Amino acid sequence: MTVEQNVLQQHSQKHQQTLLNQLREVTGTTDVQLLQQALQVSNGDLAEAVAFLTEKNAKVPEQDETTYYQTSQVASDRYISVGSQADTNVIDLTGDDKDDLQRAIALSLEESNRAFRETGITEEEQAISRVLEASIAENKASLKRTHTEVWSDSPNPHDRKRIDTCPVGLKNVGNTCWFSAVIQSLFNLLEFQRLVLNYSPPARVHDLPRNLKEHRNLPFMQELRNLFSLMVGSKRKYVDPSRAVEILKDAFKSSESQQDVSEFTHKLLDWLEDAFQMKAEEDREGEKPKNPMVELFYGRFLAVGVLEGKKFENTEMFGQYPLQVNGFKDLHECLEAAMIEGEIESLHSAENSARSGQEHWFTELPPVLTFELSRFEFNQTLGRPEKIHNKLEFSSMLYMDRYMDRNRDITRIKREEIRRLKEHLTLLQQRLERYLSYGSGPKRFPLADVLQYAMEFASSKPVCTSPVEDIDPSAPPGGTTGQQLSPPSTAEQDPLPPLEGSGSASGPTTANTAAQQQRVPIHKPFTQSRLPPDLPMHPAPRHITDEELKVLEGCLQRWRSEVEHDTRDLQGSINRIHRTIELMYSDKSMMQVPYRLHAVLVHEGQANAGHYWAYIYDPHQLCWMKYNDISVTKSSWEELVRDSFGGYRNASAYCLMYINDKKPFLIEEEFDKETGQILSGMDKLPPDLKQYARKDNELFDKEVEEWDILQVRKAQQEKLALAAAAAAAAAAAASSISTSSSSPQPMSIESSPPDNTVPQQEPEYMEQPSPTNDSKHLQEDTERAISRAAAEHEERSPEALLTAAIKLEYARLLRFAQEDTPPENDYRLQHVIVYFIQNQAPKKILERTLLTQFADRNLAFDERCKSIMNVARAKLDLIKPEEVNMDEYEMWHQAYRNFRETTIFMMTGLELFQKTNYMEALMYLVYSYQYNKELLSKGLYRGHDEELLGHYRRECLLKLNEQAAAMFESGEEPEVTTGLGIMNELVVLCIPLLLIHETERDLLAVEDMRNRWCSYLGQEMEPSLQEKLTDFLPKLLDCSTEIKSFHDPPKLPSYSTLELSERFGRVMAAVGRVPTNGR
């Protein structure tokens, strides 16, 4: 990226020639007039010019080596982009005189040429591929599509409240995970954070911006400062970056397509550099200004080359360093390949040959060293870009000494030594391969095993002179008559061939002779039920003497020992060479430039759709953090490796950010100059941003306060409604009782104050309106307890009988609560007291609930029950408010109602799943899982088996995904529309529910679903299907853990206690437990 003013000026003058060079490089067209015509028609737009030339069927001739290096001549005005060949040296990636697509093309061209060695594709073909890739991305962005759904905030602000000093996330405002990944990586560079927060715009631009740069970059800089201030001091769990994103999206001219991380980072650093450059020029008039962005992110390297025997050296500046991934196993291999281009033997040889090439040597490394990993290539056959999923390893500490110019001589010596060792290693591996894959046919085996097999064959004892002569042709296919011809042990144990007389027990000898003269039927393993008992167990030599066997065994054993010894020697030599290569740069002199891994930007998906997140190291907590949009969680190096190395899933590292380990200021906190204390939170912010953050926090506090007031108001309204309903019920009850009895006791009960009648408003599972309804079994249990108490205490008073009956009923329910029962026999559904006991409800709650059971009006069918009922009702009325907290009582019964409701959701969902009605089952299973999780958070026995519910929720999603994919594969418009509707309206909405807790089986299920749809990217299909797939994949892959607006819970039917228990038992008996190997 150009920084100095003179370099910018030179590039501006050579702009026309640059475009011509680019067009010539991309299309291979050498006709200058045709190139100029294309530029004129396109008004300088490189993409349109390429399209113009390709429409004219311009040929792509293979460029010779002279042309390839023709602009590598030594010249002071050359400014070579990192990793590019010489004819792209004049491409400026940041100048305002080219649009964004040109810069993207230039970036792609930078990375293209090194791939020739691995792919065999010429540089011209590579360049055309990159342009086509950019063109496809541009066309994809311009396709008519539905607006991408945006994650909606939870209505409860407490769910969005920041916990202590936990890092703040960034909301995904529509395909902006790329923004979140990069911004979080930069924000956690505390030096960069300080530079942004303390930036003040030049004084002269407060009135009126002078040009487009100032008009665009300065507002973006201010929005970035505002965003950083919220990320430092906000009370919110995550903040909205919309304002900064919109400015960037305007520059990209594509608000709906996902942006490439490197493309965005180039743009971001470009704008920041310009903003700081304006400030630096104002602060240091007359002096050469220092740009802090340049000093932080930009370094220099020396290009040392030879062109047709002539040596040259150029010094160039670089920012993000591009590296090819394909064909390399680790980061050092990528770097080694990037630092050497072409044939370089002549660089350090005495004789000048005609070979040409160049080496790069770093003269100055930036404090923040960023590597772009090129994981995309253009598939010429399919005509679209594809992602490279190859595994690429990298370490948390990277020593850059071997790439420094000051170590050029020693590095060349070591490289030569490594080259020699690798040549020797190749020879040894070839020799070892001959031992391990021996043979001349298509199948090869280890030579030691071949010799062992030969020795085993020679040592085997023959059982007959022919492998078929001892098989009786008259035997049925099962071989049953073989037992009549000779005992089973004969064929297995007798070392000699069977004598002719051995068959005398089974019949005449003539039968055997005739059988030998006929064609003997061969055993057919796929048609006969079992092996004939007389078939030899293994092949064996027919004739071998003891002397021959002894000589042969001796030779084979000696040869096998020699082969094993040679194999061990070769493997040992190979291991030693590998170890020597690994330790080549391990001496202290080559470990003086340490760079520690700061951040890894990960991409999951395919070339034209995917999701980005970042792993960032926290040096204060000494752990890795995962920044995935609004979700910020602790992670580990193992998880980073799983997601970043690539090789076995769709996720892999796309960008690596290392920081100089000898410059701790990059990540050190700032200290207060007066107190010496570490600045944190609001104290880190300058006055203007402190005011901005406080204002936002005040708005959030107000939102929380309004929410709390609203909830209190709702609770009061519900309480008043309950009280009104209770009063109405009490009035009706008083009228009923006064007409049915003249006893003074009930009259006194009904004349009590309204507050004392509130307990009459009991849950539906406690109400007893008639003996045939929902709680008939509860009435029967109560009457049974009264009968038992009366039988044991015949002469007792009603009050004593009530006490005894309650004790008996409690003892029965306590036994149920203590039993270890299978899931299909859940006693909690049969009685609320069982639920209360298992969850350790207070004693007063249990007592009042049991009193309510015995105060049931439906017990009044005989005098004894009627008297006990009246006593129970009187005791309820005598309970004072301070004795039983009615709010707590209602809370426990509400918890039980929630348990019953969750049970009905679960039961209905499982029933529908068993009937393969997955669309309806999903919502029941989703809500049952969510409600059940809330219940279990308050106690182990408050809900159902979470693993079982999770299993069927997961299986339901996989079934729906399978159905939708099958509909899409049909290619029929109605089927495709229905399938994508299922995905968008059901599956995609539920995926965040599987991701939020990151259980292994849920993550694997999501990976399966994504892989199924990503697999279609490499298949031929109609353009309309391709467009729909392109629209859909970002929704499937861009899965934040924030829950979208969801469907309302399904309406639940009402069940009696008995019906619910029986139906739940049937469902659970049919379902059983979770399969051990289930997904």
H helix runs in 494-614, sequence order: 509-517, 546-582
DSSP string, 699-718: HHHHHHHHHHHHHHHHHHHH
Q: What is the DSSP letter of 86?
A: G
- 3-state DSSP assignment of residue 212: helix
Helix axes 1000-1014, 1023-1037, angle to 10 degrees: 160
Main-chain phi, psi angles of 852, to 5 degrees? -60, -35
Between the alpha carbon of residue 1048 and those of residues 829, 924, 931, the distances in Å are 25, 11, 13
Q: Where are the beta strands (DSSP E) in 591-715?
A: 594-606, 609-618, 623-628, 631-634, 651-660
For the chain, report the end-to-end CA distance as a whole number of angstroms.
Answer: 50
CA distance 1054 to 560: 79
Question: Could you tell me the two tokens for 595?
Answer: 């760079």
Q: What is the DSSP letter of 987?
A: I
Of 128, 115, 122, which Cα lies nearest the Cα of 341?
115
Handedness of CA 967, 972, 976, 977 (dihedral sign): negative
Question: Could you tell me the two tokens for 788?
Answer: 């038992």
Amino acid at site 776: K
Of 2, 11, 74, which Cα lies nearest the Cα of 358?
74
CA distance 631 to 225: 22
DSSP string, 455-501: HHHHHSPP--SSSSTTS-TTS-TT-TTHHHHS-HHHHHH--SPPPGG
Of 959, 1070, 974, 1062, which Cα lies nearest the Cα of 1012?
959
Evaluate whether 856 touches 820 at the Cβ level (below 8 Å). Answer: no
Q: Write b or e for each residue in 926-956: b if 16 or more Cβ atoms lie within 10 A of its Cβ, otherwise e.
A: bbbbbbbbebeeeeebbbbeeebbbbbbbbb
CA distance 24 to 926: 58
Of 595, 599, 658, 597, which Cα lies nearest the Cα of 183?
599
CA distance 414 to 418: 6
CA distance 322 to 81: 10
Active site positions, annotated: 177, 603, 611
CA distance 889 to 841: 10
Residue showing tokens 């026999």: 825
Using CB atoms within 10 A of its CB, is residue 1063 exposed (0-12), middle (13-18) or buried (19+)?
middle
- 3-state DSSP assignment of residue 725: helix
What H or E segment, with its residue span, contains residue 214? helix 212-233
Of 94, 245, 133, which Cα lies nearest the Cα of 179?
245
Between the alpha carbon of residue 846 and those of residues 512, 813, 829, 836, 888, the distances in Å are 91, 11, 16, 7, 12
CA distance 227 to 234: 10
Between the alpha carbon of residue 483 and those of residues 475, 522, 525, the distances in Å are 10, 18, 19
